[in-house]
Amino acid sequence: METRELDVKLAAAGDLLREHRLEALLIQRVPNFAWATCGASAYVNTASDESVASLLLTPTGRHLITNNNEAPRLEQDEGLTAQGWEFHITEWHEVSEKIDALSHGLQLGADCPYPGALDLRRAFPRLRMNLLPQEQARMKSLAGMCAEAMDRAIRSVQPGMTEHEIAARLGAEALRQGVLPIVNLIATDDRVTSFRHPLPTSKVMEKYAMLVLCGRRHGLVCSVTRLIHFGRLPEDLRRRAQAVAEIDAAMIAATRPGQRVNQVFRTGLAAYAKAGFPNEWRMHHQGGPAGYEPREFVATDETQDLVRVGQAYAWNPTITGAKSEDTIMIGPERNETLTAMADWPAIEVSIDGQKVSRPAVLEIL
């Protein structure tokens, strides 16, 4: 962490307070804690987004309030004392009282519902989605790890494995690199066509599998999907895989600085229609900007946000039985596919004279 990153984020928090005529800001959600501390982890239960520590920005200081069993790790592993946060350590049942004492008499805003505070939760995705150079470097590193984990896991899949076994492979490959698999979805055979969000089951794989990973490290989240088929892909499924690759390519090509997110969304809808699947977009959201959540928000026809250099996006168009998903980063001259995998079969799509490479289904013949 460079001082500059923290300074920029503190300035953004100050601007948020001034915009709403507030004096203090309370941060208690895991993604926002990670953003504000340049990547620190403040969770225990990965199924909850409630942080085990609170950050409080006031006119007189930067406070971190936590209990006595969390403080040592936050100080030592996360280095937050060195980052300049003033620790207030309480017993587990006294945290709220300490927050109230420190914020007493101040006009308070918070990133989640809190008594007496203005709810600012909707402001944070827009703060988080514009990645600073240090965050861009961390996202690229994370994406490389997620791509490697996916590549190793999916190439180890064999007919006869259960979805639980496949999920265990994918999760282990992510964790081996220090990446937390916060989404680990597996579908095989008919379940690929039945479910867009397939939690793994004891079903035994026969020929076809889809693996979906959202991995978290230093607070950031990267997303990637790949599919594998044993034997030649049936022609109808090949047509669907080709179509979803063309839709994804169109959306990636349209995600350029100065474009509005809803323009990209509309490009995707037009691509669905052109591919002969005009209503499939209604079956699942199409993705959006990535950052400290798998999607900082989901793109719709109403989303007016501008695409900017340094942002990351994960589009995820689906057609029943097929899906395309990678995490990309917006560069000044071109987009970079961060989760690309060497030697993975590709579908090359031509969009306005440029080639956009999208992953094909891996066929094991």
Residues of the chain with CATH 3.40.350.10: 3-127
Residue pair 170/181 in contact by the 8 Å Cβ criterion: yes
Residue 303 CA to residue 287 CA, distance in Å, equals: 12
Asked if residue 137 lies in contact with residue 92, where contact means CB atoms within 8 angstroms, the answer is no
**Complete DSSP assignment for 308-340:** -TT-EEEE--EETTEE----EEE-SS-EEETT-
So what's the architecture of 3-127 in CATH? Answer: 3-Layer(aba) Sandwich (3.40)
- Cα 8–12–15 angle (5° rounding)? 140
Q: Which residue has the tokens 């300490």?
A: 98
Top-tier CATH class for 133-364: alpha beta
| Residues in the chain, total | 365
Pairing status of strand 24-29 against strand 208-217: unpaired
* pLDDT per residue of the chain (365 residues) written in tens, 0 to 9: 456 999 999 999 999 999 999 999 999 999 999 999 999 999 999 999 999 999 999 999 999 999 999 999 999 999 999 999 999 999 999 999 999 999 999 999 999 999 999 999 999 999 999 999 999 999 999 999 999 999 999 999 999 999 999 999 999 999 999 999 999 999 999 999 999 999 999 999 999 999 999 999 999 999 999 999 999 999 999 999 999 999 999 999 999 999 999 999 999 999 999 999 999 999 999 999 999 999 999 999 999 999 999 999 999 999 999 999 999 999 999 999 999 999 999 999 999 889 999 999 999 99
| Delimiting residues of CATH 3.90.230.10 domain(s) in the chain | 133-364
Between CA 81 and CA 263 the distance in angstroms is 44
Cα–Cα dist 71/82, whole Å: 13
